[in-house]
Amino acid sequence: MAQKILLIEDNPILTELYRSALEEKKLEVLITHDGEKGIEIAKNQQPALILLDLLMIGIDGYEVLKKLKEADETKNIKVIILSVINDQASKDKAKKLGASDYLIKSEIEISEIVRAVMAQL
């Protein structure tokens, strides 16, 4: 069975791009544009990994990460932050909350995102 990757990202163009790249690696991709729904999906589907945006409408990524790491069902799921925010404070905050990796959208190609994902699996 293919491993599940959950994308929590409100930009639908990005989720489509990530999805097609990850599906090439025979990964099952789940998508939501809503952080709250993302937490729910993570609990129900137990993905192997979560790619999480920080700046979203609805609850923001930090909040989602916090809730994921607090809940017993999801605390062991690895989370990679994928944000446009490029400062140390944000990175530290995310690490502190339990993110496995922190990627900056503007400085990365899709292939590198895929590589980062594969590295965590």
Partner 1 sequence: MQGMLSLSILVGTLISNLLIATFVYKNNPKSATNKVFGILGIIISLWLIILFLSQNNPDQSSYLILARMSVFLAAPMSMMYFMLAHTLPHSTLQLKKRSLIIMLVATGIVMAINLSPYTFTGVELSNGSPQPIVGPGMPPFGILSTFFSIGAVFLLIKKALFSSGVEREQFKYITVGILLMLGLIIGTIFVPVVIYNNTSFVPFAPLYTVLFLGLTAYVIIRHRFLDIRLIVGRAIAFLLFIFLCSGAYTIIVFWGVERIFNITIDTVTKITAVILSIFAALSFQPVFSRLSSLTNRIFFKGSYDSNKLLAELTQVMAQTIDLKVMTTSILKLLNKEMRVTKSAFLIIKNDTIESIINVNYPKRGLITKSLQEYFLKYLKRQSYIFEEMAEGKVKKFFRSFDIEVSIPIQVDKVNVAVLILGPKLSGEIYNVQDINLLNIFASQAGIAIQNAESYEEIKKFNVELEQRVEERTRELKESQERELAKARDIAKLKDEFVFIASHELRTPVTAIRGFLQLVESATKDYPPDVKENLGYMAAASEHLSQLINDLLEISRSEAGTMKIAVQPTNIVPIIKAITQEVSPQANEHKIDINLDIHPKAGLVLIDEKKTKEVMMNLLSNAVKYNRDGGNINISVFPFDHNVMVEVKDRGYGIPENQQAKIFEKFFRATNEKTGDVLGTGLGLFITRMLVEKMGGKIMFSSIEGKGSTFAVLLPAAPQKK
Q: In degrees, to the nearest 5, what angle opens at C-alpha 26 toward C-alphas 16 and 57?
A: 30
Per rule CB under 8 A, count of chain residues that contact partner 1: 19
User: Which residue stretch of 41-49, 55-63, 64-72, 73-81 sits at the interface with partner 1 (rule: CB under 8 A)?
Assistant: 55-63
DSSP-H helix ranges across the chain: 12-24, 35-45, 61-70, 88-97, 110-120
Is residue 110 within the footprint of partner 1 (CB under 8 A)?
A: yes
Per-residue x/- marks for partner 1, 77-106, CB under 8 A? -------x--------------------xx
Q: What angle do CA 32, 112, 120 make, to 5 degrees?
A: 70
Residue type, 107: E
- Interface with partner 1 (CB under 8 A): 10-14, 16-17, 33-34, 55-58, 84, 105-106, 108-110
